[in-house]
Structure 1
């Protein structure tokens, strides 16, 4: 499904000029139909999958308790 720059920016949570810059740099594939730039939203499926996996890993990391340090000695 092809989307405009504005729709893609909303989906990615970015500003429109950032998406347009990525298109000009060639980091986002797009087509120009004569009046506007269109972006195939299918190219972001891997990005969203990786983003979800990273969020899960961060949540696991946050919920992991800090282990007791074996070098600490309580000598008063």
Structure 2
């Protein structure tokens, strides 16, 4: 599905200026139809999947208890 720069910026929570800069840099693939850039939104699917996976891993890391230090009970 192709979206305009404004729609894409809203979807990925990024300013429109930055989306345009990424298009010019080649970081976001887009098609120019003579009036505006159109961006295929499926190119962000992998990004969002990876972002969700990273959020889950961070949550697991935060919920993992800190193991007791073995040297605490040592009475040398």
Considering the TM-score relative to the shorter chain, is it more than 0.5?
Answer: yes
CA RMSD, Structure 1 to Structure 2 (Å): 1.3
Normalised to the residue count of structure 2, the TM-score between the two structures is 0.91
Count of equivalent residues: 75
Superposed counterparts of 1:5-44, under 5 Å: 5-44=5-44
Q: Distance in 2 between matches of 1:45 and 1:56?
A: 17
Question: What is the CA deviation profile of residues 7-66 of structure 1, one whole-angstrom value per residue up to 9, with x for unaligned ones?
Answer: 111111111111111101001000000000110001111001001100100110111111
Runs of 4+ in structure 1 off by over 6 angstroms are none
Tell me how far apart the structure 2 counterparts of residues 39 and 19 of structure 1 sit (CA, whole Å).
Answer: 10
In the superposition, the TM-score normalised over structure 1's length comes to 0.91
How far does residue 74 in structure 1 lie from its aligned partner after superposition? 7.2
Any unmatched runs of 5+ in structure 1? none
